[in-house]
Chains A and B, each alone.
Chain A
């Protein structure tokens, strides 16, 4: 059974700092997704990572995938307040279902 773990679950940081959110998963998969959820809102797709070594960047966010280590990272560079949200990773299992991490609640203070 595929399990997905995110850490940390909560992160409070200052504007301008860098940080990384980690997503580990337990069995082989070559498809991983990152989503963002603002309070009271729905989930917004950020990145789809399809292969080992995949790296995608959008603004201050960069996501990477290491399928051998079963690890994805979401790196935040020079954080700004607008990036405050909950970030989820999700991994596709062999039945084409997404298995979700618990989410990382990110608060960025001015």
Chain B
């Protein structure tokens, strides 16, 4: 079936370090891809998304490019801040003739940024 695999955490970085969180997917068709972030005690917030191959989603300094050839959607940020400490979820949603199914999430990657 359709699934998402993301790198195990936790990831601990120093402030201003470069961040990469790997995400790969398995899908029978052409999904939309998403990154969601969950801060402690809060719900999920959409960070960025891409709906077709080669699209790049970006927001708040984070970027991810939809790579169909490698079935990947890796999250990157050039310089992380302490406030970026959170759990990051990669997700996909299948598209069926213009209609989108439910979100399928990866297990999440916890990021801790130290000052």
Query: Do A and B actually bind?
Result: no
- Which residues of B are at the interface with A, using a C-beta cutoff of 8 A? none
